[in-house]
C-alpha cells in the first residue's frame, strides 16, 4: 500500500477510536442521570461546558469595552429591560431563584456571585447578544452588532446586581410583566383601599407603556 494511503487510514482509524472513547465517556459520565432537566450538572459536565463556552466567545468580543457609562439613567434602562425580559428566569435580584430558573438544565446561575461578576463586560455583552447554545439562555440582540445600547445597559445592570437597594427591588417588581387578570386584581385592590365600592376597569395606559418597552428590545 502507498505510504500516504496508510497515513490517511491510520488518521481515520484514530479519529474513530477517539470519538468512540469520547462518546462512551459522555454516556458513562455525563448523562448517566438520563435526560431529565431536574438534576444539577456534575462538576465535570459543568467544567467542560464552561470551558467550551469560554472558547466559543471570540477574544475580540471578550475584550470589548462598554461604550456607555453606568449612569443612573443607563441603570434605570437596564433595570426596566431586566424586569421585563430577564427576571422570569434570573429573578429580580439576579439569584436565579424562579420556577423556570431552578428547573432548567443547566440552571440559571446566581449572577451576583463571582462566577458571573468575573466575566468581562465583553463576555456578558456577547452572551446577552448571542445566547448560550444547548441551554435555556436565548439570544437577545442582532448578530455582529457591538453597540446595542440596550444590551450594554443590561451589562451595567448585571454589574450592579450585588448592590441592589430595597427601593430598586420594589421598582423591579412594579415593572415585572403582569397578566390582565393580575392588572385587574391590583386595580380592584387599589380601589378598595381608596374606599370605593365598585371595582374599576383595568387602566389600559399602563399596559400600553409596558408593550412599548417590550417592543423596544428586540
Ligand atoms: C428562558 C430563561 C432565560 C431568560 C428569559 C434569560 N436567561 Fe440568561 N440564562 C439562562 C440560563 C439557563 C443561563 C445559564 C446557561 C449556562 O449555564 O450555560 C443563563 C445565563 C446568562 C448569562 C451568563 C451568566 C454566567 O455566569 O454564566 C448572562 C449574562 C445572562 N444569562 C443574561 C441574561 C439577560 C440580560 C437576560 C434578559 C435580556 C436573560 N439572561 C434572560 C436563561 C435565561
User: Using CA atoms, how far apart are residues 110 and 101, in angstroms rounded to an integer?
Assistant: 10
Return the residue whose CA atom lies nearest to atom 7 of ligand 1: 137
Question: Which residue from 81, 118, 137 has its CB within 8 A of the most atoms of ligand 1, so it is best to mutate?
Answer: 137
Give 7's contacts (C-beta < 8 A, 6+ positions apart). Answer: none
Question: Which residue from 108, 113, 155 has its CB within 8 A of the most atoms of ligand 1, so it is best to mutate?
Answer: 108
Mutual orientation of helices 72-81 and 166-175 as an angle, nearest 10°? Answer: 50
Return the residue whose CA atom lies nearest to atom 1 of ligand 1: 136
Q: Which atom of ligand 1 is nearest to the CA of 86?
A: 37
Q: How far is CA 113 from the centre of its chain?
A: 14
Question: What's the predicted TM-score (pTM) here?
Answer: 0.78
Per-residue pLDDT in tens (0 to 9) along the chain, 218 residues: 788 888 988 888 888 888 888 777 766 666 666 778 888 888 888 889 889 988 989 999 999 999 999 999 999 999 999 999 999 999 999 999 999 999 999 999 999 999 999 999 999 999 999 999 889 999 999 888 899 999 999 999 999 999 999 999 999 999 999 989 988 998 898 888 888 665 555 555 444 455 454 545 54
For the chain, which residues make up each domain, given as ranges? 43-175, 180-216
Domain 43-175 has CATH 1.10.760.10: yes
Centre of ligand 1 to C-alpha 1, Å, is: 54
User: Using CA atoms, how far apart are residues 106 and 139, in angstroms rounded to an integer?
Assistant: 16
| Contact call for residues 110 and 95 (beta carbons, < 8 A) | yes
Centre of ligand 1 to C-alpha 92, Å, is: 13
HSE-CB of 100 using CA atoms within 13 angstroms: 9
Q: How far is CA 115 from the centre of its chain?
A: 14
Return the residue whose CA atom lies nearest to atom 39 of ligand 1: 86
At residue 30, the pLDDT reads: 62
Centre of ligand 1 to C-alpha 22, Å, is: 28
Q: Which atom of ligand 1 is nearest to the CA of 134?
A: 18
Nearest one of 67, 60, 61, 74 to 124, comparing CA atoms: 61
Q: Please identify which residue in the block is written with the cell numbers 385587574.
A: 184
Question: Which residue from 40, 64, 87, 90 has its CB within 8 A of the most atoms of ligand 1, so it is best to mutate?
Answer: 90
The three-state DSSP-derived secondary structure of the chain is CCHHHHHHHHHHHHHHHHHHHHHHHHHHHHCCCCCCCCCCCCHHHHHHHHHHHHHHCCHHHHCCCCCCCCCHHHHHHHHHHHHHHHHHHHCCCCCCCCHHHHHCCCCCCCCCCHHHHCCCHHHHHHHHHHCCCCCCCCCCCCCCCCCCHHHHHHHHHHHHHHHCCHHHHHHHHHHCCCCHHHHHHHHHHHHHHCCCCCCCCCCHHHHHHHHHHHHHCC
Using alpha carbons only, how large is the chain's radius of gyration in Å? Answer: 23
Return the residue whose CA atom lies nearest to atom 37 of ligand 1: 86
Taken in order 69, 62, 100, 162, the sign of the CA dihedral is: negative
User: Using CA atoms, how far apart are residues 181 and 215, in angstroms rounded to an integer?
Assistant: 21
Amino acid at each position: 500500500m502507498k505510504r500516504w494511503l496508510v497515513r490517511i487510514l491510520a488518521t481515520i482509524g484514530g479519529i474513530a477510536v477517539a470519538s468512540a472513547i469520547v462518546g462512551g465517556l459522555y454516556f458513562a459520565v455525563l448523562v448517566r442521570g438520563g435526560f431529565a432537566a431536574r438534576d444539577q450538572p456534575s462538576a465535570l459536565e459543568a467544567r467542560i461546558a464552561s470551558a467550551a463556552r469560554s472558547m466559543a466567545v471570540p477574544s475580540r468580543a471578550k475584550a470589548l469595552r462598554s461604550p456607555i457609562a453606568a449612569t443612573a439613567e443607563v441603570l434605570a434602562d437596564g433595570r426596566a429591560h431586566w424586569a421585563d425580559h430577564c427576571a422570569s428566569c434570573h429573578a429580580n435580584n439576579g439569584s436565579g431563584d424562579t420556577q423556570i430558573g431552578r428547573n432548567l438544565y443547566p440552571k440559571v446561575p446566581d449572577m451576583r456571585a463571582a462566577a458571573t461578576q468575573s466575566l468581562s463586560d465583553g463576555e456578558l455583552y456577547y452572551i446577552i447578544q448571542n445566547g448560550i447554545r444547548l441551554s435555556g439562555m436565548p439570544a437577545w440582540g442582532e448578530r455582529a452588532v457591538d453597540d446595542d445600547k440596550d444590551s450594554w445597559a443590561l451589562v451595567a445592570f448585571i454589574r450592579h446586581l450585588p448592590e441592589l437597594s430595597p427601593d430598586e427591588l420594589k421598582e423591579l417588581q412594579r415593572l415585572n410583566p403582569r397578566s390582565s387578570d393580575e392588572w385587574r386584581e391590583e386595580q380592584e385592590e387599589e380601589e378598595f383601599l381608596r374606599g370605593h365600592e365598585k371595582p374599576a376597569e383595568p387602566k389600559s395606559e399602563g399596559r400600553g407603556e409596558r408593550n412599548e418597552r417590550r417592543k423596544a428590545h428586540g
